[in-house]
C-alpha cells in the first residue's frame, strides 16, 4: 500500500513535469477542429509500424507501443517530429498493456494517434465469414477494452474499427461482410456514449475498391445515427506517376475527389494510406523509385481536395524487410513502402538494436509537410456546413440491414465502463499501475467472470499478425504502379546520413 502511494506521487509528479497539453480534436460536420483554438485540424500523418528486420518481433500486428518497447518507439520520436507529422496511425494495440509513456511522448512531440480497435487474430477483427458470423463476439469486448484504455488521452484523435475488411470479402461483394463492420461500429459508438469520458470519433478504413458504394454504406443509417461511422478512411494508391508535376497531372486523384463530392459526403474523410510506389520516381543517392510526395502537397494545399479530405497519412514510416526485397532496399520493390529502413540487416530490437535510416523520400515527405504547415484553415465559427452535406448518405440496397440478423455479440454483456477517475489522464497513470499489479481493477463482482473470459480469449489470439494487406490494390480509377526493377549493388549509407543531417 505504502509503495503504491509513493508510486502514485511519483507518477503524478512525472506527469505534471513532463506533460505539454495537446487539446482534444473534435468532429464538426465533415471536418476536424481543435477544441481549444476552434481552428480546423488538418492531418499530416504517417502510418507507424516500426517492425524490426529480424527475430521474434519481425511479425505483423504486434503492439510495439507499450512501455515494454520503449527502446523501439523512443528512438523514433525525433524522426517523427522531424517529419513534421501531427498524426501517427497504429494498426494494432493490446489494451492490456500500458501505453502511458508512448502516448505522452507523442503528446510532447505534438502528435495525435489514430488507434485500431481490431487487430489480426481469428477473433480480433471482422473475419472472412459471411454475415453475421464475420463479427466474432470477442471482438466487441476487445474494442471496448481499447476504448477504455485509450479514451483518457487527449491525443487519441480517433478510433478505427477495421482496416480493409472489404479485402476479406469475395471480389466485388463487399456486402459479404460489411454489415459485420457496420454492426461493430454501432456497438462501439453505443459503448462510447454509455460510458463517461471524452467523445472520440469512431470510424473505419476501407481499401479503395467499390469506392462510392462503401463510402455511402458507412455513412448511412438504417435504425438511427449509431449505424454511421463518425469518420471515414480510405487506403488509396492512385496516380503513381513520377512525372506528374501539378495536380492537373493526377487524374486518379481528381477522380477520387469527384467521387466524394458526388456523394455530398457529410463526415470527415482521411486518406489513411497514401503515397503509391512506382519506378517512375527518380533514383536519388542510389535509391530507386524515391517518391516526391507531391500527392501530400496536393492533398493539403489544393482547395478542392481540402473540401473533400481532412488530410492524409503517408504509407509508411519504415520498410518491412520481410516484404520489401533486398537489404538495404536500394532497388525498387513494389512493397518497399517505408520512407526509411532499419540497420543493421539482422537487427531484431532484442539482441541487436535497430537504427533508423531516413531515405530520400523521407526528406521529400518532410518538406511537403513542413511547407504545408501554414495552409489556410477555417475556424469553427466560420464553418457553414452546406445544406447538401448536412445529412447522411442513402444506404445502397445491396447490403442487408443489420437488424435483420441475430448477432452473437448482442448476447455478450458489455465490458464495464472505466472507473470515473480513470477517465482523467493524470490519474490514468495511477490506474495503470494498479492494473499491472492486480490485473483489472474496480470491476463489480458480476463482471469478473466476463473479464476472466475476455483475458482467455485474448490469450487465444497469440498469433498476432498485422491486419492490413500486403499488396496495396491500385484502384481502377488510377494509374497502375510499375513492377520491381533490376537490382543495383549496395552503396554506402553515408550518402543519406549526410542528407538526413542536413535536414535535421
Q: Is 97 in the site for ligand NAG (CB under 6 A)?
A: yes
Q: Does 282 bind ligand NAG (CB under 6 A)?
A: no
367 binds ligand NAG (CB under 6 A): no
Phi and psi at residue 157, to the nearest 5°: -75, -45
DSSP 120: B
Q: Does 94 sit near ligand NAG (CB under 6 A)?
A: yes
Q: By CB under 6 A, is residue 137 in contact with ligand NAG?
A: no
What is the CB-side half-sphere exposure of residue 356 using CA atoms within 13 A?
A: 24
Closest separation between CB of residue 2 and ligand NAG, Å? 26
Query: Quick check: 19 binds ligand NAG (CB under 6 A)?
Result: yes
Contact between 23 and ligand NAG by CB under 6 A: the answer reads yes
Give the residue closest to ligand NAG by C-beta.
21
Among 371, 400, 414, 480, binds ligand NAG (CB under 6 A): 371
Task: Give the residue among 8, 133, 10, 49 at the shortest CA–CA distance from 464.
Answer: 49
Could you tell me the CA-to-CA distances from 191 to 392, 470, 476 in Å, in that order?
Answer: 22, 32, 37
User: Nearer to ligand NAG by C-beta: 297 or 334?
Assistant: 297
Among 304, 373, 471, 492, binds ligand NAG (CB under 6 A): 373
Nearer Cβ to ligand NAG, position 442 or 480? 442
Question: For cell 482467455, what's the residue?
Answer: 456
Distance of closest approach, residue 466 Cβ to ligand NAG, in angstroms: 12
Report in angstroms how near the CB of residue 394 gets to ligand NAG at its nearest. 7
Show contacts with ligand NAG in window 345-364 (CB under 6 A): 348, 350-351
If you search the block for the grid coordinates 472507473, which residue do you land on?
Answer: 419
Our finding on whether 303 is near ligand NAG (CB under 6 A) is no
Q: What cell numbers appear for 423 in the block? A: 477517465
Q: Is 67 in the site for ligand NAG (CB under 6 A)?
A: no
Q: Does 197 bind ligand NAG (CB under 6 A)?
A: no
User: What percent of the chain is helix, strand and coil (3-state, nearest 5)?
Assistant: 40, 15, 50
Q: Residue 28 in 3-state DSSP? A: strand
Q: Give yes or no for a contact between 250 and 298, defined as CB atoms under 8 angstroms apart.
A: yes
Within residues 145-174, the interface with ligand NAG by CB under 6 A covers 154
* Region of 179-187, 228-236, 241-249, 343-351 interacting with ligand NAG (CB under 6 A): 343-351
- Note whether 24 binds ligand NAG by CB under 6 A: yes
Q: Is 56 in the site for ligand NAG (CB under 6 A)?
A: yes
User: Is the separation of the CB atoms in 181 and 222 below 8 Å?
Assistant: no
Cα 31 from Cα 105, distance rounded (Å)? 26
User: Considering the rule CB under 6 A, would residue 385 count as an interface residue with ligand NAG?
Assistant: no
Q: Which DSSP state fits 153?
A: -
Give the one residue of 33, 176, 317, 337 binding ligand NAG; rule: CB under 6 A. 33
**What are the phi and psi torsion angles at 345 (to 5°)?**
-55, -40
Among 8, 12, 38, 75, binds ligand NAG (CB under 6 A): 38
Cell of 100: 502511458
Q: 340-343 and 31-34 as β-strands: parallel, antiparallel, unpaired?
A: unpaired
Can you tell me the distance from the alpha carbon of 331 to that of 308, in angstroms, rounded to the nearest whole number? 35
How many chain residues bind ligand NAG (CB under 6 A)? 31
Instruction: For residue 228, give Cα distances in angstroms to 129, 160, 190, 273.
Output: 22, 13, 11, 22
Select the residue interacting with ligand NAG from 96, 326, 343, 499 (CB under 6 A): 96
User: Is residue 459 involved in binding ligand NAG (CB under 6 A)?
Assistant: yes
Whether the Cβ atoms of residue 88 and residue 46 lie closer than 8 Å to each other? yes
The SS3 of residue 372 is coil
Taking the C-alpha atoms of residue 395 and residue 222, their distance in angstroms, rounded to an integer, is 8
Among 12, 35, 222, 451, binds ligand NAG (CB under 6 A): 35
Write out the residues near ligand NAG by the rule CB under 6 A: 19, 21, 23-24, 26, 33, 35-36, 38, 55-56, 94, 96-97, 154, 263-264, 348, 350-351, 370-371, 373-374, 380, 388, 425, 458-459, 461, 464
Amino acid at each position: 500500500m505504502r509503495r503504491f502511494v509513493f508510486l502514485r506521487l511519483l507518477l503524478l509528479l512525472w506527469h505534471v513535469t513532463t506533460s505539454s497539453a495537446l487539446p482534444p480534436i473534435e468532429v464538426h460536420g465533415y471536418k476536424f477542429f481543435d477544441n481549444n483554438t476552434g481552428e480546423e485540424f488538418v492531418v499530416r500523418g504517417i502510418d507507424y509500424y516500426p517492425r524490426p528486420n529480424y527475430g521474434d518481433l519481425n511479425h505483423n500486428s504486434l503492439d510495439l507501443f507499450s512501455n515494454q518497447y520503449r527502446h523501439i518507439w523512443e528512438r523514433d520520436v525525433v524522426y517523427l517530429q522531424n517529419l513534421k507529422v501531427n498524426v501517427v496511425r497504429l494498426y494494432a494495440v493490446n489494451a492490456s498493456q500500458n501505453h502511458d509513456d508512448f502516448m505522452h511522448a507523442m503528446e510532447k512531440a505534438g502528435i495525435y494517434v489514430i488507434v485500431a480497435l481490431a487487430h489480426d487474430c481469428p477473433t480480433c477483427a471482422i473475419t472472412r465469414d459471411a454475415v453475421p458470423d464475420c463479427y466474432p463476439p470477442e471482438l466487441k469486448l476487445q474494442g471496448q477494452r481499447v476504448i477504455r484504455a485509450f479514451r483518457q488521452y487527449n491525443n487519441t484523435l480517433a478510433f478505427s474499427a477495421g482496416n480493409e475488411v472489404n479485402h476479406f470479402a469475395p471480389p466485388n461483394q463487399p456486402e459479404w461482410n460489411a454489415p459485420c463492420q457496420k454492426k461493430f461500429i454501432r456497438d462501439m459508438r453505443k459503448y462510447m456514449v454509455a460510458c463517461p469520458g471524452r467523445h472520440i470519433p469512431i470510424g473505419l478504413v476501407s481499401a479503395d475498391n467499390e469506392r462510392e458504394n462503401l463510402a455511402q454504406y458507412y455513412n448511412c443509417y438504417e435504425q438511427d445515427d449509431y449505424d454511421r461511422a463518425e469518420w471515414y478512411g480510405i487506403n488509396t494508391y492512385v496516380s503513381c506517376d513520377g512525372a506528374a508535376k501539378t495536380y492537373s497531372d493526377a487524374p486518379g486523384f481528381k477522380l477520387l475527389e469527384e467521387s466524394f463530392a458526388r456523394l455530398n459526403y457529410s463526415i470527415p474523410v482521411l486518406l489513411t494510406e497514401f503515397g503509391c510506389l512506382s519506378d517512375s520516381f527518380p533514383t536519388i543517392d542510389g535509391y530507386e523509385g524515391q517518391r516526391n510526395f507531391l500527392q501530400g502537397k496536393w492533398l493539403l494545399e489544393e482547395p478542392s481536395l481540402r473540401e473533400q479530405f481532412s488530410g492524409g497519412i503517408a504509407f509508411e514510416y519504415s520498410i518491412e524487410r520481410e516484404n520489401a526485397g533486398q537489404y538495404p532496399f536500394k532497388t525498387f520493390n513494389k512493397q518497399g513502402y517505408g520512407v526509411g529502413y532499419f540497420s543493421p540487416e539482422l537487427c531484431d530490437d532484442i539482441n541487436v538494436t535497430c537504427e533508423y535510416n531516413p531515405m530520400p523520400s523521407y526528406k521529400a515527405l518532410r518538406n511537403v509537410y513542413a511547407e504545408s504547415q501554414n495552409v489556410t484553415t477555417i475556424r469553427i465559427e466560420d464553418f457553414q456546413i452546406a445544406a447538401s452535406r448536412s445529412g447522411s448518405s442513402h444506404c445502397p440496397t445491396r447490403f442487408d440491414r443489420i437488424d435483420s440478423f441475430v448477432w452473437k455479440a448482442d448476447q455478450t454483456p458489455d465490458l464495464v465502463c472505466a472507473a470515473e477517475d480513470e477517465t482523467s489522464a493524470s490519474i490514468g497513470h495511477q490506474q495503470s499501475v494498479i492494473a499491472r499489479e492486480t490485473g483489472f481493477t474496480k470491476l463489480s463482482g458480476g463482471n469478473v467472470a466476463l473479464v476472466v473470459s475476455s483475458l482467455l480469449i485474448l490469450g487465444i489470439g497469440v498469433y498476432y499478425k498485422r491486419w492490413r494487406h500486403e499488396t496495396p490494390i491500385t484502384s481502377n480509377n488510377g494509374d497502375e504502379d510499375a513492377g520491381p526493377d533490376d537490382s543495383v549493388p549496395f552503396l554506402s549509407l553515408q550518402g543519406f546520413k549526410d542528407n538526413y543531417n542536413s535536414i535535421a
